[in-house]
Every structure is written in structure tokens, then in C-alpha cells.
């Protein structure tokens, strides 16, 4: 297997893992406040990566890009709650260096940076600790001994050999029982142990990612204030399809991770999705919206396109589960960018930097993909500041510069998206194997 083939195999395995095992699968109402879509105060999400070869390296990155959470602070305001990764390997610390130019670039960036020059800096993508030890040793089990039943504890075993993975998974499960959920890189699950081997996942994930790319373009067009016809919509879809094929792996990956994050968001509401042929009563669009946005319903354009309602965003965000999930989506997008080595742009760059596109000089708003800098790498409140400052620069309304709407779009139109691809939204079954 070539290096490129190994990388693709590991990525596919990690996508299959994140599709099948979002961390919310191992949570219940004891961990999640479904009314607010927040983790309950004091709940920690601990993930133990047993072995840190190419598969678990990919699982670490993909899981970080998908599993982002919020909790409530002492004043009941939503704040990021990062997953804690404990990485066990004979050479764990040495392997950390693999990510120095990607995941850990932000750590170096934050050292000595003058924060006044930037919008509020985002939280790190995750918390992690590297532990050098022999898997199965006394030191290994000592490190796992402090598991708390109130936390979410997940072990992911990938040591290279499937029989060794299953054997190690059995030992962990036997010793710690219900305190931890164990997932092994193996073809078949067994009693008490999950499996994710094979790297196969539903191809509709890619189709939905392509579709979301088209809908982003459609809603961008609708935001111009002009009525969008069905002919316009067809042109947008064709353009988006062509654009998808021309995208870099980085850009396609951003759309794929967004779709993988859907199940996490639904689970945080006490919901899930499944194939229409599966058991379970489907929620109608109205029923879904009453769960997701019952006190914060989106407003719509006075027309539809191909039967699809187009949201009219007004840059007003009130306390609600819908707003919390927009915040969670921004944390998820931040994590994706940070995992790929992007860092925030200075405010001066956001306001001044320009580039020539289609023969015109335009502001870049701090986006520089070659230098891996982005003007939207900031907090949720930082996005509001971003809209205000760029609106002042361009002498326009802040609504025109609002980017938070992109964090709302996926869930606002989710019922139709899933329906188009043969899925239904259902009430969630708790912690099923």
C-alpha cells in the first residue's frame, strides 16, 4: 500500500468511525440537557486512544473535527466544553511531532501573540495528554483507574492487529465494566465491545456534502435580495457540482465533516436520523422544528425554490437551542480549521488585505489559504465583531456581513436535506449497541 493509499484508508476508517460512533451515542439525559443542547455542568468527555498509529491518528483528527460541545458556565451562558484525549502508545510523545505543523501550529501561534491585534481568540480544538507506556502494563491500567461514572468515557483500541485489538478491548471492558465504552478496530463487534473496522460508510454522506455546498451557494444568492428562480437553482446546483470536483481535499473535507456533525447535533436534542426503511416513527418537519427551534423559529423568504423554503437571516441571535447549536457548529468549524494548521488573521488584515478575483480587486476579509490564516477563526461573539467592523469599512448594514447564518443553515434546512437522501428524523434510542 502506497503512502497515499494508506492515508486514504486511514481517512475512510476515521470517517466510518465518526459516522457510526459520534460521542453523543454514549450519552443520555444524564449527560445532556436536551432543552438547551448543552452538556450538563460537570460532565467531562474523556477519550482514551489505545495505540497511536495512522488509524487512531486519523480518528483523533476526525473526531475532534466532528465532536464539539458546549456547557453552561456559572452565569448560565453557553461556553465551549472540550473533549479530553488521553493518547497511549509506546512512543506517544514522539508521535505528537506528526502534528506540529497542523494541529499544534495554533499552540505556537498563541505564545506571545498580542491579543489586541486580533478578534477574540478561539478555544483550542481539544485537550490532550500523551502517555508513553506499554499497552496492558501496570502503568497503563493505573492511568485508567480514575474513571468517573458521571463522565463519558470511551476507549478506542487500534494497535495494528485486529486480534490484538479485540483482546485488549476485552481486558479493558472486563476490568472497568460499565464505566467505559470500548470500540475496537476490528471487523465484528461482540458482546460489550463495538467495532469499526473496514472503513465502509454510507456513500450518501458524500452526496449530502455536495448538496450542502449547493445550498450554501443558493442561499448566498438569495441573500443578495433578488428572487431566485428554479432555473437559477439548477444553475447553482450544476455550478456546485463542478466546483466540488475542482475542490481540494481540504475543502471537500470541510463539507464532509459538517455532514458528519449532523448526528451529534440531533443527539444533543434527543433526536437521531436513520434510513426511511428502518423502525421508528418519522418526525414531520413541523415536529422537528418544534424541537430544534420552538422558541426561535427562523424567518423565511416569501417564495420557495423547488419546494424548498429559503431562510431570511436577520443577524439576531437569542438564547435558544438553535443558537447554541449554531455556536456548536462554529466550534466544530474552528476545530476543523485548527486541525489543518490555520490560525486567526489580524484585525488589520481583515480590514485592509485585498486580492484580485475575476479581474476585480476585493477585500479578502483575512482569508489567506496559502498562509493558512482566516478572519473568521474567532469566538461566536468575535463573529459579531467581525460583521460590525467589515460593515463599517464597506458602509453597509451588518446583516450583509453576518457569517453566523452559515452556522445555522445546516440545521435550519436539515429535515429537507435528510428527506432528499432517504433518511428520516426520529426520537433517539439511548446508548444502543
pLDDT of residue 197: 80
What CA–CA distance (Å, rounded) separates 262 from 257?
Answer: 9
64: domain CATH number is: 3.40.50
Of 65, 59, 63, 66, nearest to 13 (Cα)?
59
pLDDT of residue 259: 96
C-beta separation of 30 from 41 below 8 A: no
What CA–CA distance (Å, rounded) separates 418 from 124?
Answer: 31
Q: Residues 178, 215: one domain?
A: no
pLDDT of residue 78: 98
Q: Residues 241, 375: one domain?
A: yes
Residue 138, in any domain of the structure: yes
Structural domain for 265, as ranges: 204-427
Q: Residues 140, 275: one domain?
A: no
Residue 241 pLDDT grade (very low, low, confident, very high; cuts 50, 70, 90): confident
Q: State the average pLDDT for the chain.
A: 92
Q: Residues 253, 313: one domain?
A: yes
Q: Residues 8, 141: one domain?
A: yes
What CA–CA distance (Å, rounded) separates 61 from 259?
Answer: 16
Task: Provide the number of structural domains found in the chain.
Answer: 2
Residue 119, in any domain of the structure: no
C-beta separation of 265 from 325 below 8 A: yes
What CA–CA distance (Å, rounded) separates 19 from 197?
Answer: 13
Of 203, 200, 184, nearest to 192 (Cα)?
184
Chain centroid, CA 114 distance in Å: 28
What CA–CA distance (Å, rounded) separates 332 from 243?
Answer: 23
Q: Residues 157, 287: one domain?
A: no
Q: Residues 209, 174: one domain?
A: no
Q: Residues 165, 209: one domain?
A: no
Residue 432 pLDDT grade (very low, low, confident, very high; cuts 50, 70, 90): very low
pLDDT in tens, 354-409: 999 989 999 999 999 999 999 999 999 999 999 999 999 999 999 999 999 999 99
Residue 37, in any domain of the structure: yes
For the cut 50, the answer to whether the pLDDT of residue 4 exceeds it is yes
Amino acid at each position: 500500500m502506497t503512502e497515499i493509499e494508506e492515508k486514504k484508508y486511514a481517512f475512510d476508517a476515521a470517517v466510518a468511525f465518526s459516522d457510526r460512533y459520534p460521542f453523543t451515542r454514549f450519552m443520555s439525559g444524564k449527560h445532556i440537557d436536551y432543552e438547551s443542547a448543552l452538556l450538563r455542568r460537570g460532565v467531562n468527555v474523556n477519550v482514551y486512544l489505545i495505540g497511536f498509529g495512522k488509524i487512531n491518528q486519523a480518528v483523533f483528527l476526525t473526531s475532534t473535527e466532528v465532536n464539539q460541545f458546549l456547557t453552561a458556565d456559572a452565569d448560565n451562558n453557553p461556553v465551549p466544553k472540550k473533549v479530553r484525549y488521553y493518547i497511549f502508545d509506546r512512543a506517544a510523545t514522539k508521535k505528537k511531532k506528526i502534528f506540529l505543523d497542523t494541529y499544534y501550529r495554533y499552540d505556537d501561534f498563541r505564545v506571545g501573540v498580542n491579543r489586541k491585534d486580533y478578534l477574540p481568540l478561539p478555544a483550542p480544538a481539544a485537550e490532550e495528554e500523551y502517555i508513553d507506556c506499554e499497552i496492558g502494563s501496570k502503568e497503563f491500567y493505573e492511568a485508567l483507574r480514575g474513571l468517573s461514572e458521571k463522565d463519558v468515557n470511551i476507549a478506542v483500541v487500534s494497535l495494528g492487529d485486529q486480534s490484538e485489538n479485540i483482546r485488549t478491548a476485552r481486558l479493558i471492558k472486563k476490568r472497568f465494566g460499565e464505566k467505559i465504552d470500548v470500540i475496537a478496530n476490528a471487523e465484528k463487534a461482540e458482546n460489550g465491545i463495538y467495532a469499526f473496522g473496514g472503513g465502509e460508510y454510507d456513500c450518501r454522506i458524500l452526496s449530502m456534502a455536495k448538496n450542502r455546498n449547493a445550498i450554501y451557494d443558493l442561499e448566498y444568492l438569495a441573500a443578495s435580495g433578488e428572487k431566485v428562480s428554479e432555473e437559477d437553482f439548477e444553475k447553482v446546483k450544476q455550478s456546485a457540482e463542478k466546483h466540488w470536483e475542482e475542490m481540494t481535499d481540504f475543502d471537500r473535507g470541510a463539507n464532509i465533516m459538517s455532514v458528519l456533525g449532523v448526528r451529534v447535533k440531533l443527539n444533543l436534542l434527543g433526536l437521531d436520523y436513520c434510513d426511511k426503511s428502518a423502525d421508528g416513527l418519522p418526525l414531520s418537519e413541523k415536529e422537528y422544528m418544534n424541537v430544534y427551534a420552538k422558541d426561535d423559529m427562523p424567518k423565511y423568504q416569501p417564495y420557495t425554490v423547488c419546494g424548498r423554503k429559503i431562510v431570511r437571516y436577520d443577524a439576531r441571535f437569542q438564547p435558544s437551542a438553535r443558537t447554541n447549536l449554531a455556536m456548536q457548529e462554529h466550534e466544530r468549524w474552528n476545530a476543523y480549521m485548527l486541525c489543518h494548521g490555520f490560525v486567526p488573521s489580524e484585525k488589520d488584515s481583515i480590514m485592509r488585505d485585498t486580492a484580485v478575483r475575476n479581474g476585480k480587486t476585493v477585500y479578502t476579509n483575512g482569508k489567506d489559504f496559502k498562509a493558512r490564516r482566516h478572519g473568521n477563526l474567532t469566538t461566536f461573539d468575535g463573529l459579531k465583531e467581525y460583521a460590525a467592523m467589515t460593515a463599517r469599512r464597506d458602509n453597509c448594514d451588518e446583516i450583509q456581513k453576518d457569517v453566523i447564518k452559515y452556522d445555522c443553515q445546516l440545521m435550519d434546512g436539515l429535515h429537507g436535506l435528510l428527506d432528499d437522501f432517504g433518511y428520516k428524523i426520529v426520537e433517539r434510542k439511548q446508548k444502543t449497541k
